Amino acid sequence: MTITVKAPFDGRTIDEVATAESADVDAAVARARTMLLSVRGGDFPAWKRAEVLDLAARTLKERVEDFARTIALESAKPIRTARVEAQRAVSTLTYSAVEARTLAGHMVPMEGSEAGAGKLAFTLRSPIGVVGAISPFNFPLNLVAHKVGPAIAAGAPVVLKPASSTPLSALALASLLAECGLPEGFLTVTVGAGSVVGDALANHDDIAMITFTGSPDVGWGIRARAPRKKVGLELGNNAPVIIEPDGDWQRAARLIKTAGFSHAGQSCISTQRILVHESIAKEFTTALEAEVRSLVVGDPLDEATEVSALITTAERDRVCDWISEAVRDGATLVTGGQIDGTLLRPTVLADVADDMKVSYLEVFGPVVVISTYRDFDTAVARANDTRYGLQASVFTTRLDRAMHAIHGLDFGGVLVNEVPTYRADQMPYGGLRDSGNTHEGPAYAVREMTHERLAVIQL
């Protein structure tokens, strides 16, 4: 059987991709198990893994345009933004190569106790086993690289299930890695429904770890079904930004133009909730409205386009319904909210209450919401009043307020004078509560994909 991959922008067919069944997952895991034994036997040592990753990074850098076009076609990500994703994947593979070369354990100070006298002890990092990786549609290349790159560095073979709507970037990356010397069986891409391929990965006894990026309901469901596996989850968010009257709110408006609407808001750290001090709310809202109205909406392959279609028309209609519900309940539509063919115009809502869906849930669409506050402590408390906890930010020139936010905002990452949408691929990236339970970034993911083995030698 096959899946028809269609362009979200205009519905045209891009490709037909063969789908996997549970038996195909079994075969892929069996090949991965054989490769794992080879790695543990020294046949694919760290320096060779690093060379594969380095060559893959260089080759991908030469093919950024090809990969960007694939990303733009299958996900409707504007081509300029798709190029950024492809370039970020180069960085992800490069940092993974660094980890392959430097991953090590540590010495244990045995002489520190009488029981340890005369003994030498140290730890080693050993691959955790076969990794089942499940990646989302919104970053169909770089979020695959964030799973596969560290796994290669760790020596942990991978069976990957990309999003069924955007499998082409993952397949292209797997082909590139094979071209660059990744042994057959180390990475297998299995395209198919979550109820088939995803469940087969979660339930397979020979998979030691699941790494999942996607919705909280699906992620925690996998975690509940696989209690004996290590399950790393990168999930959702409704990223807040607090804008103080002394902060550079004009710059904040310029940054939110991109941070709230890049890839039609389909990012787990897309800026969503804007808490702005009441003394500057009118000026800020006017500035943000002008910025958002200037966004170019259209064909993702057009160089001028900044915002294109959501992944499906069903998602477009859901977001539109949430906007309409908020307006009915008292929110003010500042700009946007209209459907234009397959597109939803970038939307700004003001006077938004914290109990509206567009505020307390993750919109995952081209929508930002504005509410005002008078007291900074109240703003921090409202930002924290969420089931999510990935990244948050504050704009202020006051060091005491910045430190208050760093200590007081209960999120995996807190940014000062930057939007919560900022991410560099080498930094630790992960959240709390319904935003997940692990950290990505090659230096952190590689440790999740290995276990520490203790060695003790009697001298």
> Do residues 267 and 224 share a domain?
no
Indicate the pLDDT class of residue 217, thresholds 50, 70 and 90. Answer: very high
> Do residues 81 and 155 share a domain?
yes
- Give the pLDDT confidence score for residue 278 in this predicted structure: 98
- Give the pLDDT confidence score for residue 64 in this predicted structure: 98
Is 429 among the domain residues? no
Q: Does residue 242 contact residue 395 with C-beta atoms inside 8 Å?
A: yes
- Upper half-sphere CA count for residue 448 (Cβ side, 13 Å): 31
pLDDT digits (tens, 9 = 90+) for 2-29: 999 999 999 999 999 999 999 999 999 9
> Do residues 294 and 173 share a domain?
no
How many separate domains does the chain show? 2
> What share of the chain in percent tops pLDDT 70?
100
- CA separation (Å) from 217 to 113, 314, 330, 456? 48, 19, 29, 43
Q: What value, to the nearest 5°, has the Cα angle with vertex 444 and ends 43 and 216?
A: 115
> Do residues 52 and 72 share a domain?
yes
Is 117 among the domain residues? yes
Is 427 among the domain residues? no
> Do residues 231 and 248 share a domain?
no
Using alpha carbons, select from 264, 288, 238 the residue that is nearest to residue 365.
264
> Do residues 297 and 326 share a domain?
yes
Residue 368 phi, psi dihedral angles, 5° rounding? -125, 150
Is 426 among the domain residues? no
Indicate the pLDDT class of residue 128, thresholds 50, 70 and 90. Answer: very high
Per-residue pLDDT averaged across 178-201, rounded? 97
Q: What value, to the nearest 5°, has the Cα angle with vertex 369 and ends 267 and 330?
A: 140
Residue 358 phi, psi dihedral angles, 5° rounding? -65, -10
> Do residues 362 and 388 share a domain?
yes
What does the alpha-carbon distance between residue 375 and residue 361 come to, in Å, rounded to a whole number? Answer: 24
Is 90 among the domain residues? yes
> Do residues 7 and 150 share a domain?
yes
**Is the sign of the CA dihedral 102, 106, 107, 109 positive or negative?**
positive
Using alpha carbons, select from 303, 410, 316 the residue that is nearest to residue 366.
316
SS3 (DSSP) at 421:
coil
What does the alpha-carbon distance between residue 448 and residue 446 come to, in Å, rounded to a whole number? Answer: 5
- Give the pLDDT confidence score for residue 309 in this predicted structure: 98
Indicate the pLDDT class of residue 233, thresholds 50, 70 and 90. Answer: very high
CATH number of the domain within which 126 lies: 3.40.605.10
- Give the pLDDT confidence score for residue 201 in this predicted structure: 97
Q: What are residue 88's DSSP bridge partners?
A: none
Q: Does residue 62 contact residue 89 with C-beta atoms inside 8 Å?
A: no
- Give the pLDDT confidence score for residue 77 in this predicted structure: 98
- Give the pLDDT confidence score for residue 86 in this predicted structure: 98
> Do residues 139 and 272 share a domain?
no
Exposure pattern of 75-101 as b/e (b: 16+ CB <10 Å)? bbbbbbbbbbbbbbbbbbbbbbbbbbe
- CA separation (Å) from 105 to 339, 421, 442? 55, 33, 16
- Give the pLDDT confidence score for residue 398 in this predicted structure: 98
> Do residues 296 and 264 share a domain?
yes
Using alpha carbons, select from 35, 43, 156 the residue that is nearest to residue 447.
156
- Give the pLDDT confidence score for residue 207 in this predicted structure: 98
Is 422 among the domain residues? no
> Which H helix or E strand runs over 6?
strand 2-6
Structure-block tokens of residue 224: 């509940």
> What share of the chain in percent tops pLDDT 90?
100
What does the alpha-carbon distance between residue 349 and residue 346 come to, in Å, rounded to a whole number? Answer: 10
> Do residues 351 and 390 share a domain?
yes
Range of the structural domain that residue 252 is part of: 240-416
> Do residues 385 and 296 share a domain?
yes
What does the alpha-carbon distance between residue 459 and residue 456 come to, in Å, rounded to a whole number? Answer: 9
Q: List the beta strands (DSSP E) in 106-248.
A: 107-108, 119-127, 130-134, 158-161, 187-189, 207-213, 230-234, 240-243
234 catalytic per annotation? yes
pLDDT digits (tens, 9 = 90+) for 402-437: 999 999 999 999 999 999 999 999 999 999 999 999
> Which H helix or E strand runs over 400?
helix 399-408
Is 65 among the domain residues? yes
Which one is predicted more confidently, 341 or 303? 303
- Give the pLDDT confidence score for residue 308 in this predicted structure: 98
- Give the pLDDT confidence score for residue 23 in this predicted structure: 97
Using alpha carbons, select from 413, 450, 442, 447 the residue that is nearest to residue 145.
442
Indicate the pLDDT class of residue 393, thresholds 50, 70 and 90. Answer: very high
SS3 (DSSP) at 337:
coil
The DSSP 8-state label assigned to residue 436 in this structure reads B
pLDDT digits (tens, 9 = 90+) for 55-98: 999 999 999 999 999 999 999 999 999 999 999 999 999 999 99
Is 385 among the domain residues? yes
Q: Which of the following is catalytic: 74, 85, 180, 268?
A: 268
Separation of first and last alpha carbons in the chain: 61
268 catalytic per annotation? yes
Residue 396 phi, psi dihedral angles, 5° rounding? -160, 155
Q: Which of the following is catalytic: 74, 234, 244, 440?
A: 234
Q: What are residue 333's DSSP bridge partners?
A: 349
